[in-house]
Amino acid sequence: MCTIPPSISSSAHEVVSRLAVEIGSYHLSPWTPHPWFLSIPRLSLSADFQSRMLLPFQAMKVAFRALPENDASLKAAAYKYYSSGLERHQAQLHQLVPWQRHQHLASILNLLLMSMALLEFEMMAPLATDSWFPHAYGALGLLEQVGPQGCQESPFFEIFWQLRFFMSHVTLSTRKMSFLGSQTWMEMPFLHREKTEFDHVIDTLLLEDNQTIKGETLGHETIEQRKISGVNLGHGQGATFNFARPDHIADFERIVRVLVNVRELVSASASGSDLKRQESLSTAILADSKHLMNQPFLPFNVGLQVTAAASLVAQYATNSMQKQEAAQLYDDWRGRFVLIG
């Protein structure tokens, strides 16, 4: 693990760290206990990079302030920070040597952190539908240079873990598998960290339709056979995260059901068979999603998950009424978690 050298301004580091922790707290939930933001305070970052990193962080902070009322002036300020950060990030990317596959890890880490920060902003303040996809693919290309073995260590593991989750949605939406769906990338980064139930579910979402993991047929019944209650959510020593309340367990079970059922819906839609099954899956997804959205204190990260699930039901449901309901819920929920207009 890197430590903070004396040459770095302590005040600049404190500002970046404070923003990272503040933003990361919005994304913390019992089943996503390792937001990559929370690794920032422990990293050795140059003063120049911190000045760049402040831009997307400030964009996100202002965006969170703008969300409750969809404040136009705050939204404009957030986009200004984002645009400046994107411009500086692209300038750094152009300095990479395209034919030199193994870049210096410190440079790759800086670019990855910026890519992830810009990606996170685009998810909460999209300039167009799925406009965060290019950032996800860009981060994915950088992560590939780190390699699966390199992703065993922090902070690459936290970035890998979060990007895996984001790419599971991309895979479901586009039906195109990335290298994260390969056995090597599913196993090697977790070599020294026990996989959680949530991790196993994400594994299934990263695969193409009808693929299997170690000979298992991936379906709702297979996932349901695993024990969900009392699951250990930690990855390795010192990272155990326990459910604080019984409703956290219930919410965890619901989000797992939502993800599994969305995967099943996409697979059923691809095969074009069993329309009643597709209708039943859509009904279950929407019911669990509504329940989660009605919780009084819903983590921002969870709200984005559920909103994305509604968009996939609108995309893949065969019943026109369900499509309309999902599309309406998606529009309503986007207004709570995404800056629009």
Among 172, 173, 163, 161, which Cα is nearest to 198's? 161
Average pLDDT of the chain to the nearest whole number: 82
pLDDT for res 153: 92
pLDDT for res 10: 55
Could you read off the pLDDT of 177-235 as tens digits, one per residue?
Answer: 999 999 999 999 999 988 988 899 999 999 865 455 454 444 444 444 444 444 444 44
When pLDDT is averaged across residues 254-282 and rounded to a whole number, the result is 89
Contact of 306 with 289, CB cutoff 8 Å: yes
pLDDT for res 242: 43
Could you read off the pLDDT of 67-86 as tens digits, one per residue?
Answer: 888 899 999 999 999 999 99
Domain-embedded: residue 119? yes
pLDDT for res 47: 87
pLDDT for res 100: 54
When pLDDT is averaged across residues 333-341 and rounded to a whole number, the result is 82
pLDDT for res 241: 36
Phi, psi (degrees; rounded to nearest 5) at 169: -70, -40
Largest CA distance in the chain: 64
When pLDDT is averaged across residues 17-46 and rounded to a whole number, the result is 86
Q: Where are the beta strands (DSSP E) in the chain?
A: 212-213, 216-217
Could you read off the pLDDT of 151-165 as tens digits, one per residue?
Answer: 999 999 999 999 999
Among 170, 176, 175, 100, which Cα is nearest to 139's? 170
The residue whose two tokens read 């970046």 is 16
Residue-wise over 12-21: b if at least 16 C-beta within 10 A, else e? bbebbbebbe
Domain-embedded: residue 225? no
pLDDT for res 85: 95
What is d(CA 232, CA 201) in angstroms, rounded to the nearest whole number? 14
Domain-embedded: residue 185? no
When pLDDT is averaged across residues 256-285 and rounded to a whole number, the result is 90
Domain-embedded: residue 143? yes
Answer whether residue 30 shows pLDDT above 80.
no
Among 218, 217, 140, 215, which Cα is nearest to 174's? 140
When pLDDT is averaged across residues 89-113 and rounded to a whole number, the result is 78
Domain-embedded: residue 73? yes
3-state DSSP call for residue 212?
strand
Contact of 261 with 281, CB cutoff 8 Å: yes
Phi, psi (degrees; rounded to nearest 5) at 5: -80, 155
pLDDT for res 337: 85
Note down the domain range covering 121: 12-167
Could you read off the pLDDT of 107-135 as tens digits, one per residue?
Answer: 899 999 999 999 999 999 988 888 999 99
Domain-embedded: residue 207? no
Residues sharing a CB contact under 8 Å with residue 194, sequence separation 6 or more, in sequence order: 232, 234, 235, 236
> Percent of the chain, pLDDT > 90?
52
Domain-embedded: residue 81? yes
3-state DSSP call for residue 278?
helix
3-state DSSP call for residue 216?
strand
Beta-bridge partners for 336: none
Number of domains present in the structure of the chain: 1
When pLDDT is averaged across residues 229-249 and rounded to a whole number, the result is 44
Among 174-188, 242-256, 319-333, which is the least confidently predicted range? 242-256
When pLDDT is averaged across residues 278-295 and rounded to a whole number, the result is 93
Among left, alpha and beta (phi > 0; psi -120 to 50; other), residue 317 is beta
pLDDT for res 215: 42
Answer whether residue 244 shows pLDDT above 60.
no
Mind spelling out the 3-state secondary structure of 24-93? HHHCCECCECCCHHHHHHHCCCCHHHHHHHHHHHHHHHHHHHHHHHCCHHHHHHHHHHHHHHHHHHHHHH
Domain-embedded: residue 227? no
Answer whether residue 306 shows pLDDT above 70.
yes
pLDDT for res 103: 55
Q: Where are the beta strands (DSSP E) in 181-256?
A: 212-213, 216-217
Contact of 304 with 126, CB cutoff 8 Å: no
pLDDT for res 248: 57
Answer whether residue 57 shows pLDDT above 60.
yes
Model pTM score: 0.83
When pLDDT is averaged across residues 264-285 and rounded to a whole number, the result is 89
Among 24, 23, 33, which Cα is nearest to 243's? 33
What is d(CA 164, CA 157) in angstroms, rounded to the nearest whole number? 10
Residues sharing a CB contact under 8 Å with residue 174, sequence separation 6 or more, in sequence order: none
